[in-house]
Amino acid sequence: MKRTSILAMFLAAVTLLSTSCGTSDKVASVSITAAGTTGIVNLQGLGGTLQLQVTANYTSGKIVDETNWSTYQVSAQGTLNDGVTPLPTPPQGVSVNATGMVTATEPGICTWTNLAAGTTSSTPSWAFTGWYQIVADYKGMLSQPIYIPVASAADTLTGQVGQCGPSSSD
């Protein structure tokens, strides 16, 4: 009789532990950010990079980094800085690798315009006319989009720094 009682208690404990006390822990949402940045991001210069970070947000409140297990969908939105020419499609000028690293590639593009150009102001007033929209896919669950304007047409190689989008001093 003792063995039966012990076995019954053991099975009850295993059942209780395997059901997590009646709660389940499922992915509630997926989020994407550009690591180490706040506000508007900017992909500057040919070869410039931004590291994406994808997190799975669980119903229990747990947050898990799933960057390396996600895939990325990139779409071009808006125009080049002339306000007329659509961004090249399929997306050109950026690439996203399997680890979520976004890199500015050829052809160099500019999706920023200086609203103060042609005025008496010597201080630039930057606005972006186009961007690359990136969405992360983790196990079929999509993140909210992140919008990345690009300033790779003017860089230190061409001597045009600051002529395409805000710099750290703007």
Question: What global pTM score does this model have?
Answer: 0.79
pLDDT value, residue 53 = 97
pLDDT interval class at 120 (50, 70, 90):
confident
The DSSP line for 40-78 is S--EESTT-EEEEEEEEEETTS-EEE-GGG-EEEEEEEE
**Which residues does residue 138 pair with via DSSP β-bridges, in sequence order?**
141
Per-residue model confidence as pLDDT tens digits over 130-153 = 999 999 999 999 999 999 999 887
Rounded to whole angstroms, how far apart are CA atoms 42 and 150?
6
Asked if residue 58 has pLDDT above 70, the reply is yes
Rg of the chain over CA atoms, in angstroms?
24
Report phi then psi at 7, rounded to 5.
-60, -40
Asked if residue 154 has pLDDT above 90, the reply is no
pLDDT interval class at 155 (50, 70, 90):
low
Per-residue model confidence as pLDDT tens digits over 12-32 = 666 655 555 556 789 999 999
* Better-predicted residue by pLDDT, 161 or 125: 125
Domain boundaries, the chain: 24-151
pLDDT value, residue 37 = 85
Rounded to whole angstroms, how far apart are CA atoms 166 and 100?
24
pLDDT value, residue 88 = 83
At the topology level of CATH, where does 24-151 sit? Immunoglobulin-like (2.60.40)
**Which residues does residue 32 pair with via DSSP β-bridges, in sequence order?**
54
pLDDT value, residue 65 = 97
